[in-house]
Amino acid sequence: MARVAPPPPDSGALPQERQQRILERLRRDGRVVAVELAQAFEVSEDSIRRDLRELAALGLCKRVYGGALLPAITLTPLKQRRNEHSSRKQALARKAASLVQAGQTLLIDAGSTNAAIAAELPRDARLTVITNAPHIAQMLLDREGFDVLLIGGRIDAASGGATGAQAVDQVRRVRADLCFPGACAIDAAHGLWGFDSEESLFKRAMIEASDETVIVATDDKLAVVATHQVAELARVQHLVVEHSADKATRAAFSARGVAVHRAEAVA
């Protein structure tokens, strides 16, 4: 007598159960594909698209062509971000600055966390800092011991840094030992992501112009994706995370060859 194969573990689920399992996959993988979900749950693609519409209406996913992404936080203006979670960013900055060696050339992106990193850099290490952020350049000029090069171009009010073709062209003409691109989202399977296309191009140019890349990310930027991919994870050598970062998430990055550095706990 022919043996009947058992049904897939996701088949036969009710709509609410199915949506919960879709969310579990989305949180695990950062994205889902409608065709694959339809096969896994043994339902039509129309049913899956309806599930994704309902989840998107609740703000639990972002629909894209062919599936959905895990939503990342939206970017708030720099002036507002400077005062948010300052103690957490300082702990991350101290750990990130500990990766810098004397005599190196650094590429530092705009952003409140990167400004905190700049403030933690030792003044007696003969460092050259290339940045697209006027506020970071001014901060370092106010301290002795730094050689500062400011990347020019259109200044984006939200990020506080120069972006666009002019800035990208200038970055492509320099070489750095370490770069610190601002991170909107990073995922162990899909790499580094950004919200804005011009900013993402600039971050990509930073990585291409540097020997090693350091990503510094608060917990809410881990295991999520945004709109534009900046780089595959293979282009990231170091990831600095908060002390509270999930153990499984840290392990996922380590398994992909990224050196994960955990900041000290914040009281």
Question: What average pLDDT does range 182-211 have in this prediction?
Answer: 92
Low-confidence winner among 16-20, 55-59, 179-183 (lowest mean pLDDT): 55-59
Residue 29 reports pLDDT greater than 80 = no
Of residues 79 and 218, the one with the higher pLDDT is 218
**C-alpha 231: how far from its chain's center?**
10
Q: What pLDDT sits at residue 4?
A: 42
DSSP letter assigned to residue 10:
T
Q: What pLDDT sits at residue 215?
A: 98
Q: What is the pTM of this model?
A: 0.73
In this structure, what token pair is assigned to residue 216?
């510094």
Same topology between domain 15-69 and domain 78-262: no
pLDDT digits (tens, 9 = 90+) for 122-160: 989 999 999 999 999 999 999 989 999 999 988 988 788
Question: What average pLDDT does range 77-100 have in this prediction?
Answer: 80
Q: Domain segments of the chain: what residues?
A: 15-69, 78-262
Q: What pLDDT sits at residue 2?
A: 45
Which architecture, in CATH terms, is 15-69? Orthogonal Bundle (1.10)
Phi then psi for residue 139, to 5 deg, are: -60, -45
pLDDT digits (tens, 9 = 90+) for 223-257: 776 778 899 999 999 999 999 998 988 999 999 99
Residue 66 reports pLDDT greater than 70 = yes
Of residues 184 and 201, the one with the higher pLDDT is 201
Question: Regarding the domain delimited by 78-262, which CATH topology (the fold level of the hierarchy) does it fall under?
Answer: Rossmann fold (3.40.50)
CA atoms in the 13 A half-sphere facing the CB of 199: 24
| The CA-based dihedral angle spanning residues 4, 10, 13, 17, taken in that order and rounded to the nearest 10 degrees | 160
Question: What does DSSP say about strands 154-155 and 162-163: parallel, antiparallel, or unpaired?
Answer: antiparallel
